Structure 1
Amino acid sequence: MSLYLAYVMVGLAIAMPVGAITVEMTKQGLKNGFIHGWAVGLGGMTIDILLIFALYMGLASILAMPIIQVPMWLIGAGFLLFLGYDSIKNADQGITLSGEKVSKSFFSSYRNGLFVAVSPGNLVFWINVFGVVLAKSYDHGESTNFLIVAAGVLSGILLHDVGLMAIISITRKAMNHTMIKRLTIAAGVLLLGFAGYFIYEFILSIQVYI
């Protein structure tokens, strides 16, 4: 239990810094409410779970290969460019004020979470953290420790997502259409900024092999 709780705190610490997923969650939470913001987080966690499963099945060495990680900077940048452009272009569309019926589908928000989570930064984190944990677990003949750690980190991320969306859902009650539109544009600009960073990292990665 102590191992699980320790990694719940690790999960919370990981999720606290503002990243692309947090920005997209906030945007969707403001425009369409708690469920849609949380759907983005669930999309991100789906990628996390797939990566954990891949590591557990012994694919860490493959995921760590530059031929896998380098193209993902560009793929991730492409997704973020699309989401950022869409946020700015359609900032005044699809806004649902508190108490109004949401027309946007849950799956579209979930899909956005999947897109944002596709980045080598995510890969590197899971390989570095869980690669070490997995190695130690097998050395001591306790492979279940890996699953306990994974459950702890994912629980911490989930707690962060639910807490953030609870705050957003309360905050949006005091917002009007114009305020949400402006925040949506700001979110789009931030997503474009993250896309630029991904492209920069892609260029740096390519230069190493030139």
Structure 2
Amino acid sequence: MSLYITYVLVGLAIAMPVGAITVEMTKQGLKNGFIHGWAVGLGGLTVDVMLIFTLSIGLASILALPIIQMPMWLIGAGFLVYLGIDSIKNADHDITLSGEKVTKSFFSSFKNGLLVAISPGNLVFWVNVFGVVLAKSYADGTANSFYIVAAGILSGILLHDLLLLTIISITRKALNRNMIKWLTVAAGVLLLSFACYFVYEFIIGIQQLL
């Protein structure tokens, strides 16, 4: 139980720094409320679970290969450019003030979470953390600790998402349509900044391979 609690705190700490997924969750939470921000978080969590599954069946060494990770920097950058431009271009669209009926689909927000989470930064984290845990658990003759650590980190991320979206849900009640519009534009600019960082990492990786 202590191992689980420890990694819940680790998951919470991991999710605290502002990243692309947090920006997208915040944007959707402000524009369309708790459920849509939650949908983005679930999309990201789906990718996390898929990565954990691939690690558990022994694909960690393949996922760690630069030839696998390098294209994902560009793929991730492409998705973030798409979302960033869409955020800026449609900043004044699909804004639902507190108490109004939401017209945006749940799946659309979920899809955005999936797109943002497909990045090598996410991949490298899971390979590094769970690669070590998996190796240690097998050395100890049990795979139980691997799944306890996985459950703990995912629970911590989930707790962070719930706390963040609760704060956003309360805050958006005091915001008008114009304020949400400009916050959405700011979110789009941040997503484009993350895309530039992904491209930078891709270039650095190419230089290291040459």
TM over 0.5: yes
Identity of aligned residues (%): 77
Residue in structure 2 matched with residue 159 of structure 1 by the alignment: 159
Residue in structure 2 matched with residue 180 of structure 1 by the alignment: 180
Q: Which amino acid is 1:188 matched to?
A: G
Residue in structure 2 matched with residue 208 of structure 1 by the alignment: 208
Quote the Cα distance in structure 2 between the aligned partners of 1:68 and 1:115: 17
Shift of 1:7: 0.2
Quote the Cα distance in structure 2 between the aligned partners of 1:208 and 1:2: 41
Q: Which amino acid is 1:43 matched to?
A: G
Q: Which amino acid is 1:126 matched to?
A: W
**TM-score (structure 2 length as normaliser):** 0.99
Shift of 1:207: 1.6
Q: Over residues 126-174 of structure 1, what are the superposed CA-to-partner deviations in whole Å (9 max), with x where a residue is unaligned?
A: 0111110000100011101100000000000000001100000000000
- 3-state SS in 2 of match to 1:9: helix
Residue in structure 1 matched with residue 31 of structure 2 by the alignment: 31
Residue in structure 1 matched with residue 149 of structure 2 by the alignment: 149
**TM-score (structure 1 length as normaliser):** 0.99
Quote the Cα distance in structure 2 between the aligned partners of 1:204 and 1:7: 32
- 3-state SS in 1 of match to 2:100: coil
The alignment's C-alpha RMSD in Å is 0.5
Shift of 1:76: 0.1
Shift of 1:9: 0.1
Residue in structure 2 matched with residue 18 of structure 1 by the alignment: 18
Q: Which amino acid is 1:29 matched to?
A: G
Q: Over residues 73-117 of structure 1, what are the superposed CA-to-partner deviations in whole Å (9 max), with x where a residue is unaligned?
A: 000000000000000000000000000000000000000000000
Q: Which amino acid is 2:192 matched to?
A: L
Quote the Cα distance in structure 1 between the aligned partners of 2:152 and 2:143: 15
Residue in structure 1 matched with residue 43 of structure 2 by the alignment: 43
Residue in structure 2 matched with residue 76 of structure 1 by the alignment: 76
Q: Which amino acid is 1:153 matched to?
A: I
- 3-state SS in 1 of match to 2:55: helix
Shift of 1:209: 2.5
Q: Over residues 171-191 of structure 1, what are the superposed CA-to-partner deviations in whole Å (9 max), with x where a residue is unaligned?
A: 000000000000000000000
- 3-state SS in 2 of match to 1:83: helix
Quote the Cα distance in structure 1 between the aligned partners of 2:65 and 2:194: 23
Quote the Cα distance in structure 2 between the aligned partners of 1:208 and 1:22: 30
Unaligned 5+ residue runs, structure 2?
none
Displaced runs of 4+ in structure 1, greater than 2 A? none
Residue in structure 2 matched with residue 62 of structure 1 by the alignment: 62
The number of residue pairs the alignment matches comes to 210
Quote the Cα distance in structure 1 between the aligned partners of 2:208 and 2:152: 36
Residue in structure 2 matched with residue 112 of structure 1 by the alignment: 112
Q: Which amino acid is 1:182 matched to?
A: W
